[in-house]
Amino acid sequence: MEHSPQSFKVFSTYENGNCWNVITPNGRWVYVDNSATSSVAGLAVAANGSLTPVATTAVSTLGQGTTNLHITVGGDGKYLFTLDSGSGAVSVFSMNSDGTVNPLGDIEALPKTEGSNGIAVL
């Protein structure tokens, strides 16, 4: 999908502290982690590159004391993961066909300060 620089627009997630963004393997969705509000925003990507909010944009809010510093999508495009500093966890979400997500739980036992090294999933 090629676009001229004029076709891209700045889009607010109506949240705070965007740290990382990830595009799904099929190119249909962009997910944004907002570390200052501990939320994940979802945006649909149209064929012309324009973005439309999914639901109310924030598709998930993480637990108190969590700062989601990094975000990734599995190679199969079925799961979204956030690396959560402050809680020492990786939050796992299943992805729905409409761009919304369902929290599946957390993988815990990481140091509470984890998050400075990123996250990768195959």
Q: How many whole angstroms separate alpha carbon 96 and alpha carbon 80?
A: 11
Beta-carbon contacts of 94 under 8 Å, excluding residues fewer than 6 positions away, are 78, 79, 80, 101, 102, 104
Domain that holds residue 43: 17-107
Tell me what pLDDT residue 9 has.
46
**Would residue 121 count as lying in a domain?**
no
**Would residue 93 count as lying in a domain?**
yes
**In angstroms, what CA-CA distances link 40 with 5, 63, 108?**
26, 12, 19
To 5 degrees, how large is the angle CA 44–CA 40–CA 94? Answer: 75
Q: What is the mean pLDDT of each run of 10 residues along the chain (122 residues)?
A: 45 63 92 79 88 72 66 92 80 90 83 60 54
Tell me what pLDDT residue 7 has.
44
Tell me what pLDDT residue 45 has.
92
**Would residue 83 count as lying in a domain?**
yes
